[in-house]
Amino acid sequence: MSGAVLVVLEHDRGTIAPAALEALTAGRALAAQLGTTLEALTVGSNGDSLVADAESFGADVIHQAHHALLTDYNPEAWGEVVAQMITATQPAVVLATGTDRGNEVLAQAAARCDSAFVANCLTFEPGQPGGTFGVTRVRWGGSLIERATVAGTGTGTGTGTATGTGTGTGTGTGTGTKLLTIAHHAVDASPAANPGAGTATVFEARLDPSVARTMIVARVERPAGVTLATAPVVVGGGRGVGSADGFAPLQSLADLLGGVVGCSRAVTNLGWRNHTDQVGQTGTRIAPDIYIACGISGAIQHWVGAMASKKILAINTDPQANMVTKSDYAVIGDLHQVIPAITAEIERRRAT
Amino acid sequence: MRILVCVKRVPAPGSRISITADGLAVDTAFLGFTTSPHEECAVEAAVQLVEAHGGSATVLTLGPAEAEEQLRYAASVGVSNAVLLATDGADWDPQRTAAAITAAITAIEDRDGVFDLILFGNESADSGGFQVGVRVARHLDRPIVNGIKGISIADGIATLERPTDAGQEVYELTMPAVAGVKEGINLPRYPTLKGRLASKKVQIAIIEPSAKPGGQVLVRLEPPAELTTSTTMLGNGPDAAAAVVDLLEELGVLR
Ligand SMILES: Cc1cc2nc3c(=O)[nH]c(=O)nc-3n(C[C@H](O)[C@H](O)[C@H](O)COP(=O)(O)OP(=O)(O)OC[C@H]3O[C@@H](n4cnc5c(N)ncnc54)[C@H](O)[C@@H]3O)c2cc1C
């Protein structure tokens, strides 16, 4: 039997990341496809508390990496632990979360193994003709899909050494450990029909003291409250808003609905709003119940940040704007007239 | 203070993105090009650090000869040296890119001295591999943290801020160090006329990169499955307000 599918469980000092449950779900399906078992890795003893989650999502073995230096997140130390696990357990696949941390840790591990790493996969197609391992993955933040093949660790056909760089021949081969992350929201997290064996086993990592150099040294906590990423309503403004002051009516509407204001990159570049308000590929991905997009043309890079909204209402003077033709609802008109009218109507109904 | 910024030239599509007939690339026949946004901010960060601490900033790219445009742009906003690792234009995989950039950095440092700080974009806008900076840092045995939206430098330490859902993480890297920067760390300046003229005079050092291909191989690009939505028109102008508020009530967002 081939090695296991090993899922690296992202956590922050013992609190599991929601994306880790998605990775377990995707890892379980991939393990079934490969006819192998699902295993999980937690880094640091404060991650020991994740056993129950891993078990209910189908993990048979949970490797708990321990070391005095693993008290908090540290990309180099985490990457080194993953690389050591690969050597120790020879998994078929290491799968992590397609998040800031997950992608960073697997990049660190891949750099250490000198092997390929494919970020933000959507689907897995192991066992392609010729023994290649295929994936589909996110490009352009989701505006394009890439089909790719990936080589495993130690498959350097050029040198043949255990730590050789990937193949020089143009296809990923079927041997060695594949290093992959699953794009956030590519699968819905769902526990296993039958929980896994959930056997916890401690892995004593060997870490050089120098890895301490990329440890978190301090944190600044944000005051609690709705954020752009979690708001139930987002009122977005684009270049059509016309000025920084022009956002006041959007803010009033957002306040009335318990939501927040978002914006396009054109607005950020003009200095009308802070980048923390930017929706899109290089901004925030939003998922509100409704996104009200005002004076935004709907460029692909904006759209990928908005498309997870449950409903989208576009307000635009141009009926042909991409935002209008792709949205669920639209009002054609000048946002400077439409938004105050909506606010007035809400206030009128609340007063009666 | 010597700072290096590694940037990527990418096309700038607008309302749609199309693929070439062979499925291997974005059809750029009608597109302009730009510096990948995270890296545009990395360039600005480098220029600001040099303004504050002295020294010089260098920009490096691996790409086609046309990437000279992005190097000159960086020069026009204050970068003083430019390096082009000229390819035939085909996209290089992340391992190969990192190996070629590492070799170039090593050669430059052997001649001119170590870069105190090397900045990458967190991920390139087009291929989004999330790894070139990490691989280069590993090859050079320097610390790297990604996702950075704040950099300050004092006493040989780069203090880096990384926003998360819960707030902000702080890292302190002893230089020489490397960081993966994200858009939002600053608002990049526009070039002045003087800057544009000066950029024309900057010498571009051209290096022919060589590195073995890595293990991630592009097979084909595809458009994502389009969710076909039919747009419900709620009306024109302010008269549509009642229909909009009906919708908000129906969706339960009006409490
Ligand atoms: C690599 C890369 C990454 C990018 N990342 C992002 C990103 O993360 N987020 C992002 O938003 N963009 C991003 N962009 C930029 C993107 O391509 C567009 O340039 C940008 O989204 C356009 O912003 P906009 O819709 O506000 O402006 P425009 O495209 O200028 O659209 C303005 C719209 O307002 C409408 N309008 C004008 N006046 C009114 C009025 N009075 N009432 C109603 N409607 C009106 C117009 O009809 C038009 O549709 C990126 C680009 C690149 C190349």
Partner residue facing A337 (CB), from B137, B232, B238: B238
Question: Would you call B229 helix, strand, or coil by DSSP?
Answer: coil
The tokens describing A345, both together, are: 């109507």
Which is more confident, A157 or B186? B186
Residue pair A329/B229 in contact by the 8 Å Cβ criterion: no
State how far the Cα of A113 lies from the Cα of A124, in Å rounded to an integer.
Answer: 22
* B144 strand-pairing partners: B178
Partner residue facing A331 (CB), from B213, B216, B244: B244
State how far the Cα of A236 lies from the Cα of A278, in Å rounded to an integer.
Answer: 9
Helical H runs in A144-272? 248-256, 265-269
* CA pseudo-torsion sign B195, B84, B67, B187: negative
Answer whether residue A158 shows pLDDT above 60.
Answer: no
pLDDT at A225: 85
The tokens describing B98, both together, are: 């990192």
Cβ of A331 below 6 Å from ligand 1:
no
CB contact under 8 A, B247 and A329: yes
| Total residue length of chain A | 352
Contact A332/B at CB under 8 A: yes
What are phi and psi for residue A164, nearest 5 degrees? -60, 155
Residue B19 lies in a domain: yes
State how far the Cα of A115 lies from the Cα of A167, in Å rounded to an integer.
Answer: 9
Helical H runs in A35-183? 51-56, 75-89, 100-113
Q: Which residues contact A274 (CB under 8 A, 6 or more apart)?
A: A268
On chain B, the residues whose CB falls within 8 A of the CB of A329 are 231-234, 244, 247
Identify the CATH homologous superfamily for domain A5-214.
HUPs (3.40.50.620)
pLDDT at A127: 82
Q: For strand B56-63 and strand B2-7, is the pairing parallel, antiparallel, or unpaired? A: parallel
pLDDT at B165: 86
Residue pair B14/B70 in contact by the 8 Å Cβ criterion: no
CATH assignment of A233-351, among 3.40.50.720, 2.60.40.10, 3.40.50.1220, 3.40.50.261: 3.40.50.1220
Answer whether residue A166 shows pLDDT above 50.
Answer: no
Q: Do domains A5-214 and A233-351 have the same CATH topology?
A: yes
State how far the Cα of B68 lies from the Cα of A17, in Å rounded to an integer.
Answer: 42
pLDDT at A109: 98
Residue B229 lies in a domain: no
Partner residue facing A166 (CB), from B38, B95, B234: B95
CB contact under 8 A, A275 and B187: yes
Cβ of A296 below 6 Å from ligand 1:
yes
The tokens describing B76, both together, are: 């026009």
Cβ of A40 below 6 Å from ligand 1:
no
Average pLDDT score, chain A: 93
pLDDT at B73: 98
Residue B102 lies in a domain: yes
Q: Is the full-model pTM beyond 0.90?
A: yes
Residue B220 lies in a domain: no
State how far the Cα of B112 lies from the Cα of B106, in Å rounded to an integer.
Answer: 10
- CATH number, domain containing residue B28: 3.40.50.620
pLDDT at A2: 78
Answer whether residue A132 shows pLDDT above 80.
Answer: yes
Domain spans, chain A: 5-214, 233-351
On the 0-12 / 13-18 / 19+ scale of CB atoms within 10 A, B130 is buried
* B151 strand-pairing partners: B160
State how far the Cα of B239 lies from the Cα of B246, in Å rounded to an integer.
Answer: 13
Domain of B38 in residue numbering reads as 2-207
Residue B234 lies in a domain: no
Answer whether residue A173 shows pLDDT above 50.
Answer: no
- Count structural domains, chain B: 1
**Listed range (A173-177, A249-253, A343-347, B21-25) with the worst mean pLDDT:** A173-177
Answer whether residue A202 shows pLDDT above 60.
Answer: yes
Tell which A residues from 21 to 50 touch B, by Cβ distance under 8 Å: none
| Ligand 1, pocket-test mutation among A138, A281, A336, most atoms within 8 A of CB | A281
CB contact under 8 A, A330 and B139: no
Residue pair B137/B119 in contact by the 8 Å Cβ criterion: no
One-character DSSP codes across B71-130: HHHHHHTT--EEEEEE--SSPPPHHHHHHHHHHHHHHHHHHH---SEEEEESS-TTT--S
Answer whether residue A163 shows pLDDT above 60.
Answer: no
The tokens describing B146, both together, are: 């990604």
pLDDT at B255: 74
CB contact under 8 A, B129 and A119: yes
CA atoms within 13 A on the CB side of B60: 25
Model confidence pLDDT, tens digit, residues A4-31: 999 999 999 999 999 999 999 999 999 9
Q: Which of A34, A42, A37, A94 is nearest to A64 (CA)?
A: A42
Residues of chain B with pLDDT under 50: none
